[in-house]
Amino acid sequence: MKLDTESAKRYLSPIYPDGWMFIALFAIAALILGSLASVLLYVGLLATGWCIYFFRDPSRMVPQGKGLVVSAADGVVDTITTVPTPAELGIGEGDHIRISVLLSLMDVHVNRIPASGTVVATKYHKGAFLNASLDKAHEDNERQYVGIKTDSGAMIGMVQIAGMISRRIVCKLKENQKVSAGERFGIIRFGSRVDVYIPTSATPQVMVGQRVVAGETILANLEAPSSAHPAEKM
């Protein structure tokens, strides 16, 4: 039987550094449970296996080209709508197109930069842990705002939003930091939503219900569509 190298890479992905502590805790819990009953050991080992899978961090082939905006998260496009620009993003007033991506517990949860540029604002907002699919999650849930001025001068933003199960948003960005499209910047533990805000002059390249991949799927092209070039692995 021929080995499918692409499938092997997918299931043998590196682990995101922040995940090792949780994997260790799951493994210890499995051993404790196993000391009580053998069947509990199997349950614990399954849970540990899931934890390893949750924190996988596969490399991605990032499309190269001026004006490209890639997905910040793995998941399914939930909504595409024009909304007032959140002041917390620091990218100006008026409206932006908001593309929301919902992540399931089985999706890769490492988040990536949607476009190369400079971070102009970061703001954390405490909140509730409602179902991330609810529209009011944008206003009520715990969330992290990030505004970016792209290399071409466009102002875009992204928001990491916690869900019912997630209890920790990790964002390692700072204001005035230079970033590259597809670069890892954080994670949301466990289950979440990520919104990307693009100018109203841009045309979304995805549809509601479409599955997207962080760092690979092009959400929009702020320049001419022909500017895309071969991808680069990150």
Contact 105, 156 (CB under 8 A): no
Question: What pairs with residue 157 in β-bridges?
Answer: 147, 197
Residue ranges of alpha helices (H) inside the chain are 5-11, 20-36, 38-54, 137-140
Of 166, 192, 201, 226, which one is the catalytic site residue? 192
CA dist 142 → 72, 128, 229 (Å): 18, 6, 37
Mutual orientation of helices 20-36 and 38-54 as an angle, nearest 10°?
Answer: 170
Here the tokens at position 71 are: 């997905």
Helix, strand and coil content of the chain, in percent to the nearest 5, comes to 25, 40, 40
Is 192 one of the catalytic residues?
yes
DSSP 8-state code for residue 14: P
Active site residues: 192
